[in-house]
Chains A and B, each alone.
Chain A
């Protein structure tokens, strides 16, 4: 699938085929994609635990549910629990930045050296960052970037994917993860039981409300020519609309199939 179409086809899938297993190779592809994501200071906060739903006991599965998030957990055959390891910066003490210096990704042309990392970057910037209240946002944003690549890789592999929030109260206990791992999301993966289109691309705020040019308040002008080109490349697709009879019929059929309320 072409890159733009992968972006265009991604949906948050909420109905998975519970009985169709996911090939292990496809999960690895998703993990490899996450591993290669852009990452601030080469820290790699993201940690992930891949769980086959059927290996969770009923009791464990129940503990991971919340009132707004349970059907997807029941249906998705693969759960990838995503965390940010908050200890990683102080464990590495700048070592991973120095790896970037060594391979000239952070070259002296841009002011980088081992000495610079050891004397300034780690002790004066990174270490204090870990004590700053904003640190969690930095780690979460970074893990989010990796999760985004994981999602797109899953779509490219023909899977349905979606990010959700498991019950934070029990996550450490159920999965036995260290306390310093901060829960981010669970990425559910499986073959969709709903159509891949899932009713169409979700409604978005107007382009001009999100993107500006030069300064705040000046909308980035959206070229219709570019939009048309993206439609041709299937990045921009049919948008989901209210009261779509086909989508309603699909949801009714899924409710019937899985015993869900209307």
Chain B
């Protein structure tokens, strides 16, 4: 973690608003209050990795020679690994750890960066 790193208020980032709007459109309700751990968990991930939400999404996207938007394999892999690490270092059962990783994955998913974890099966919980 970088000691000099700081975030704006998390809801001021465009990509966070895209995420919240996506959640609301798909699931209805109030994404912030329905799961109060959402924003703090994303914030914790960002601080842990000294990166702001908009930069995460920017690093996961690229433009090809024709000018068409593409997912950056390198960026996606980087954040997939960081999420796995964040999840692995979290406290709790496998499902509880997965929930924290999945909050960050959800942020990427609703910003058009496909990420999916393996499923947690019965004997792994």
Contacts and interface: CB of A to CB of B under 8 A. Distances in A.
B61 interface: no
Given A256-B95, A259-B94, 9 more contacts: A18-B119, A67-B115, A68-B114, A70-B118, A74-B121, A75-B119, A248-B28, A259-B102, A260-B117
Contacts of B99: 259
Given A67-B76, A67-B114, A68-B114, A260 B28 contact: no
Tell me the interface secondary structure of chain A in the complex: loop
B28 A259 contact: no
30 contacts: A18-B122, A19-B121, A19-B123, A68-B114, A68-B116, A70-B116, A71-B116, A71-B117, A74-B118, A74-B119, A75-B119, A75-B121, A248-B27, A255-B102, A256-B95, A258-B119, A258-B120, A259-B95, A259-B99, A259-B117, A260-B116, A260-B117, A260-B119, A261-B102, A261-B105, A261-B109, A261-B116, A261-B117, A262-B27, A262-B106
Interface of A: 18-19, 67-68, 70-71, 74-75, 243, 248, 252, 255-256, 258-262
Tell me the interface secondary structure of chain B in the complex: helix
A245 B118 CA distance: 26
Interface of B: 23, 27-28, 76, 94-95, 98-99, 102-103, 105-106, 109, 114-123
A19 B76 contact: no
B102 A262 contact: yes
Contacts of A71: 116-119
A248 B34 CA distance: 15
**10 shortest interchain CB distances as A-B pairs:** A259-B98, A259-B120, A261-B102, A258-B119, A261-B105, A74-B119, A261-B106, A18-B121, A19-B122, A74-B118
Contacts of A248: 27-28
A262 B98 CA distance: 12
A242 B119 CA distance: 25
Nearest to A20: B122
A71 B116 CA distance: 7
Nearest to A262: B106
A71 B119 CA distance: 6
A260 B118 CA distance: 8
A243 B28 CA distance: 9
Contact of B119 (A67, A243, A259): A259
A67 B116 contact: yes
B47 to A, nearest CB: 20
Contacts of A256: 95
Contact of B121 (A67, A70, A258, A261): A258
Contacts of B76: 67
A13 to B, nearest CB: 14
Contacts of B109: 261
B114 A260 contact: no
Contacts of A19: 121-123
A229 B94 CA distance: 49
Contacts of A74: 118-119, 121
Nearest to B77: A67
Contacts of B102: 255, 259-262
Nearest to B76: A67
B19 to A, nearest CB: 11
